[in-house]
Structure formats: C-alpha cells, structure tokens
Structure 1
Amino acid sequence: MKQQAFYPLFCKSQQYAWGKFGTNSIAGKLWSSNQDKSLDSNTPYAEFWVGDHPNGPSKVEYNSKKVTIPEFLSQDLSLLGSSILNFTNNEPRLPFLLKVLSINKSLSIQSHPDKKLAKKLHSQRPEIYKDPNHKPELAIAITYLDAFVGFRDPIEIYNNLMHYQPCKDLVGVEIVNNLKKQISNKDGKAVSKTLKEIFKAISTAKADIVSTKVDELIKLIHNKPENEYTSDDKLILRLNKQFPGDVGIFLTLLMKYCHLEPNQAIFIGPNTVHNYLAGEIIECMATSDNVIRAGLTPKYKDVEQLIKMLDYDILDKPTKQIMLGVEIEKGIFQYQIPVQDFLVQIIKMKKNQSLQLPTSHSSSVFLLLNGKISNTDLNEKKYSPGTVWFIPQDSEITIYSHDQTVLAVQAMLGKK
C-alpha cells in the first residue's frame, strides 16, 4: 500500500439520553460535518468517537470502500508503526479512544478497575465485563466541565452528614460519631475504613427507604429561603429532577466537586469514584468498556464490586489535581499523565500561521475542532471542523490556518 501523509476518518456519534440536543451539541456538530449529515433537534448527540472501538468504529475510505481501522491497517501494519504494534502485541488496532462529549445531564456515578481487577472480572463475568483492560481517562474542558472526582475531605463529609439529616439517617449515628473521632485522632486507616462503611450504608440501602429519605431531603431544602440555598442544595434539587429518588443523590454528598474551565483537564485513574454533571469536553481513554456503576443511571449497577474496589484513602491525601497542558512547542500543549496507553495534545493556531504536527514516536488521530486548515500549502483544499485524520508514524504534515484561529486535538500512544 502506498503510504499517504494522512487518511480521512469517518466517525460515529453516540446518542445517549444525557447528551445535548441537535445543534446545541458540539459532539453533534462535529459528527454532522464529518459525515455530511443534518442534525435532528430532538436527538441527544452525546458523544463523537474517534477510534476503532467495536461499538462505534471509525472507518477509512480504501479501494472505494469504507472499512474499519483494523481492516485498513491489516493491509499494511507499517502504517500503524512500531511503537503501537509493540504495545498491542502486533494487533492492528489503536489502544486508545478519543471522544468529544456534550453533557446535558448527569452521567452515572462510576469507577473503572485496574488491569488486574479487569482481567479477573472479564474471566468471571465476560457477559458484563467484556474486555480485560483498564480504562484510565483524561478529560479536557472545551467549554467547561462540572464533575465529581474522588471523595471530599473527611471533615466536609462529616459536616454534610450532620447538615443533611436524611443522609445521616441512612448511615447511622454510630458510624457518623466514629468518623468524627477518627478525624480528630488523625487516624487515616480508620477514616478510610469508616468512609467505606458510609458508602456501603448509603449505596446498599433499600430503594423504598432511599426514595423516602430523598423526599425528606428535598423538603428540608425547600424549607429554606431560596437565597440561602448552598451549592449542594442546588445540585441536589437538580439531580432529583433528572433521577427522582435515586441513591446517587446521597452519594454525591461524599464526593469531591470540581469545575474545569477551557483547556483545564483532570486525569481519572483506576478505583476513583466519579461522574460528569454538565459541560463539553475532549475525553481520551484506553480502549475498554469496563465501567462499574452505583447510582444516577438506569444501567446495570454492580454496587458490591464498586464498594470493594474504591480508593477510600483520603485523610491528608492530596486532592485530585486540575492540570493544564505543557507547551512543548509553540502552539502544541501536551497533557502529562501516568499511563502509556495514550497521550493527548491540544493544538492552537492564530490566523495565517503554519505548524508541523508531531508524529515521530507514534501514529495518531487528529481532530479539527475550530477554524479551517490546509495542509502542504495555502492553495490546497480547506478542511473544516469535524475533519478527522489517521496519521501514520513519521508522516511529515504541516498545517496552515486561514482567517480564523484554529483549535485541534491529536491523540497518540504515550511515551515510555
């Protein structure tokens, strides 16, 4: 096969209930442009996928047909490059999935297993855990992201239990009193054990009891003047409209809230409880389906497994860090993460500039988010937002901006 500098990809949209509708969705608009299809104002366009995940594989036009990335790469493995082939044991696939998410309402409260647990769960219950891989994630805000990631400071958890009586009722007075003593004694192991007991008490409570306690919680908030509502009060009311009576409403009182502005990012490793609430983001992850849920979802919940696996070590532990990309070259911002499965770079260009894309250590995928570009020279075809390329390792590509600023993202294998 004669190697080109890049190969256009035709990518899938995922239409989940939590997505933004029609042209309000960045994910939808990218898909519309990429596929040259119109958007339906009544359809929630939740995600735009770039990669070869079997639930939404991107396709390459080859020999007058559109074939999946593995089918395309199997014709000539050199297109994938030695670094990814070594990582995948010579399988013709990408080890990562790049997405754009447009979030209108809360996703599930969830976590992902590490590799060891993923292999175990896949061997025991392959019908639920469909692969043996871990699923580390990097979320980068395009507009903003509101999310919960990890657990709150234990003092804040204790204060929430005292402030919201229905939540304290679910947990029990003895456990709450234990937490207070352990915080005072700065006993990290005991705090971790008690936090696990608190999470278990809430997440395993019977559905009818939870529903009753949520009703009490809503009445408690409504009894206050509206101008005295806290941020947690407002969020509880919002989540109850989305998932009435759901146990996840109480679990969020244990979880650490974070807000990301454009270009800010957060890395979510294994065994970390989290959920996305609202916003629009770039997300990159290891290719896997392993999600273990506990609330704010109509999907299957494996509460017992989630309780076992979560990281409850929170006393005097650094909070999850919001990060920015490091400018490795002018206009190229790289996000430093602790896994090799993927590496993400944001590309920013001013009007009428040129920039050479980094492609030396790995083949990659490239997604144009904003602006118009050409490659090779300014007289060539202009590419619009929604353009996606597969770029073989060691390709030399220079892109040119025109009369608009450019924002793009490139995902590839991480460096050792």
Structure 2
Amino acid sequence: MKPLKPVFLKCAVQKYEWGKRGEESAAARIFSRNSGCPVEDKPYAELWMGTHDSGPSLVLFSGSSPDSKLLPLKEWLSQNPEVLGDRVVQRWGTDLPFLFKVLSVAKALSIQAHPDKELAPVLHKERPDIYKDPNHKPEMALALTEFEALCGFIDLEELKGVLGSLPEIVNLVGKESVEELLNIDRSDAKDVKAALQSVFTQLMSAKQDAVSETVLELKSRLIKEKQVRHLTTKEQLALRLEEQYPNDVGVLSSFFLNYVKLNPGEALYLDANEPHAYIYGDCVECMATSDNVVRAGLTPKYRDVETLCSMLTYKQGYPNILKGAEVSEYTKSYQPPFDEFEVDQCCLPAGRSTTFSAVQKPSIFIVLDGHGSMKIGLEDEILLTTGNIFLVPAGMEIILTANADSAETSSKDNDTNENNKSSTFQLCRAVVNSRFV
C-alpha cells in the first residue's frame, strides 16, 4: 500500500448575488489565493471545500502544471478509500460526509430550512432540478467577523408581544387566528405548536398583493415613528430587509424568528427543519454533504411555501451559541450534535507550534490568514500560506508551526480577523464529529 500524505485542493467559488463584492469578500480573497485567479468586481458568496457535484474540489498533485487536468476529490477518494478510515467508509461509503465552506454575506439569504433524512430523498425524487441530492443538511456557522442571522422561532411570550405591536400582521393573517395564539396556555406544547404553525402558514401563504400592501403599511408606520421614538432591533431589521427585498413576506416573517448576532469565534448550529436566514458577515460553515434548501421568502428563487411550512418543527426559544471548547492552548473545538462534522479553529502566534493528533477520520484544513508550515513525521516541512486548503488522511498526525513573521498586513485581511488576531497563523479544520469516531 502506498504511503498516505495530505493532498492540496483547488476549490470552487459560488458567485451568488447576495455575496460581498470583490476584495470585501473573505470568500473571494481566499479563493484568489487558492486558485491564482484575480478577484473581480463581482459578488463572491461561498467558497466550497468538498465533493458535492455543484462545486467539487480538485486534487492538486505535486509537480502538476497549471493546465494539467486535475482529479475531482470524490473520484480520488473512491480510488483511495483508506484516506477516510474504515468506520467512515462503513457509514458513508467512499465520500466525505461533510461539506466545508467560507461564506461572505452582504445581503440577507432567503428564509429557508433544510429537509431531514426522510424528506430529502422524497424532494430529490420529485424535483431533482430544485433539490439536488437526497441527503439531509444540518449545518453550523462559525463567525469570522460579527455575523448576523435569523434562527428558529421566538418563544411564546415574546411572540405574543410582537403580535400585540404589529397590527399589520394581525390584519393580514386574521384576528381570529392571532387571538387563538395570544390566549393559548403555554403549558400545552401541542396546542402551542399547532397555533404557531397555523399563523405562520397563513402569513407565508398570503397573496402577494396583500403582502405588498401590508409591508408598505408597516414601512410607512415605522418611518413615521422613527421620528419620535427609537425603533426596536427587529423593527430596524425589518426596514433593512425591506430595502433589500421590497414587498417580500420575509420582511414580515422576520418578526417570528430569533435575531442572533455572533461575535468572531462564536458558532451557531442548525438542525434540519429549522427556519433561518443569514443576514450579514463572514463565517466558516460546515454541513452534511448536501445543497438542499427549501425557500419561502427573501429570495428571487423558487419558493416552496407549502413544503417549508409543513416540514418545520416549530420549536421555540433562543438557539444554543457555541463558544468553543479548548482542546489545546491554541485550538478550540466546536461540536454540534451531528455525526457528520465538527470544526476546529486554530490561532497560532508567530513562532509557536501545535499538534493535531492522529484520528481515524479525514480532515480538511483551510489557512485563513498568515504563513506557517506543516510537519508529518520525519518528512520535510511543507510551507503553508493563506488560501492553502488540504485534506489530511485518517490516522495521520501533523504538527503546524507559525512563521516568525506570520502576519499578513493587508488592511482588508485585518478587517476580517478581529480581536487583534492579525499577528497569528489562522486555520480552521472540518472533521467527522468525535461523537461518531
């Protein structure tokens, strides 16, 4: 058997219209360093690292020329399954169970949810043009900058307060339905869920003419009241969203969801069938290998309102924010309750080293900033710099070292790396969750 070594990857970028433009986008800057392509004055939304067919990574072989035909990572893994480790192969076959990304969000993403393991294959079979694969898609976002999102339904008492202050929404969905929700006993979880589902479904299913009129009424009222009082955070957000998506039902549905602001180094995880929308910022994101999205607002794309409203759990309450558990002096681990992945963040000061011990599962590393090196056993050091992305096989220990002059001094890079971390060698790793292997 040939000895295993890390392989470097050339990764794909997605230029969705909601991405940050040009050099403002962390995804663009890292993609440019990874691929050698110049950054254009276009929106760069997502850098993909993995095997999904919508944006597959390519394996860079030592000595290959720029115009060499590169092997897709998925094909390379099928030829080298030992890279994945026996248990991973037994569970997921000869493919990575996770998809790793860098996201740069300038404009709110759609009000959306991802199907679970039962629904995903059904949707894929019925609409393969819309739902690209049969897999579920739990995910986690680790903030690189301050990062804003909507996630999950607000609790019942907050929702009652919201509905009591928004006559426009009450008129749209009907006073009878709202009264039922306002008067419900929170101790009866089944009734609460049914009432919330009823009101939310009526809102999301309202005719466009009625939605447009309601959004205009809300906007006009808030602009007037802004002159005499300080608007709430949600009211300010609604006006922001209306500027981006005029006359959209997502402006109204945002009042039903938790507004979350992550600091750099905090993470938010999302199970299947939970409503959410990313609003602004840069993050590292990891998920099960899927691109299935059920949308219903804040988007020009296909909306599947009936599916979204029927699939949601309608669980209420503020989401769990992960701060990261220290696994070494320089590394934090973020472990969501999903078998497919967890994420490590490593910030090495100049001249310092850290070891990633051998584990029986594959890893993908991305260098977010700085210069350093990787050491494997007795082999020569491999130099690393911003934009390097590489897969480390199962069972391999690596030692990472930051150069003495690790910092990169680009002002835009420093904008992305908060908390005075510009003098560090910064990496993130996606790896199969420790709870599985």
TM-score normalised by the shorter chain: which range applies? over 0.9
Alpha-carbon shift at residue 380 of structure 1 (Å): 4.9
Partner of 2:78: 74
**Alpha-carbon distance in structure 1 between the residues aligned to 2:331 and 2:88:** 22
User: Contact conserved, 1:189 with 1:313, CA < 8 A, in 2?
Assistant: no
> What aligned pairs does 1:4-403 form with structure 2 within 5 A after superposition?
4-40=4-40, 42-62=41-61, 64=64, 65-89=69-93, 91=94, 93-183=95-185, 186-226=187-227, 228-314=230-316, 319-376=318-375, 380=381, 382-402=383-403, 403=405
Alignment root-mean-square deviation, CA: 1.9
| Structure 1 match to 2:413 | none
Q: Which runs of no fewer than 5 residues in structure 1 stay unpaired?
A: none
Structure 1 contact 62–72 (Cα < 8 Å) conserved: no
Deviation at 1:376, TM superposition (A): 2.7
Shift of 1:359: 3.6
Deviation of residue 324 (structure 1)?
1.4
1:414 maps to a residue whose letter is N
**Any conservation in 1 of the 2:204–2:305 contact (CA below 8 Å)?**
yes
Counterpart of 1:154, as a letter, is L
8 Å contact from structure 2 (residues 335, 433) kept in 1 = no
* Deviation at residue 379 of structure 1 after TM alignment: 8.9
User: Per-residue displacement from partner, 1:42-74 (whole Å, max 9, x unpaired)?
Assistant: 201111111111111110124844110022223
CA contact (8 A) 1:5 1:397 kept: no
Distance 1:376 1:255 in 2: 46
Q: Does 1:406 align with 2:425?
A: yes
SS in 2 for 1:74: helix
Separation in structure 1 between the aligned mates of residue 233 and residue 39 of structure 2, nearest angstrom: 34
> Does the Cα contact within 8 Å between 1:359 and 1:392 map onto a contact in 2?
no
Q: Deviations over 1:185-232 (max 9, x none)?
A: 633222211111111111010001101111111111111134522212
Select between 98-107 and 217-226 the one with higher mean Cα deviation. 217-226
**SS of residue matched to 1:39:** coil
CA contact (8 A) 1:364 1:413 kept: yes
TM-score normalised to the size of structure 2?
0.89
Check whether the contact 2:8–2:61 (CA below 8 A) recurs between aligned residues: no
In 2, Cα distance between the equivalents of 1:121 and 1:96? 20
* Aligned residue identity for 2:91: F
For residue 382 of structure 1, report the CA deviation from its aligned partner: 3.5
Distance 1:152 1:369 in 2: 34
> Structure 1 residues 125, 379: CA separation in 2 closer, same or farther (over 3 Å shift)?
closer
C-alpha displacement at 1:122, in angstroms?
A: 2.5
For these two proteins, the number of residue pairs brought into alignment is: 409
Structure 1: distance between partners of 2:150 and 2:305: 18
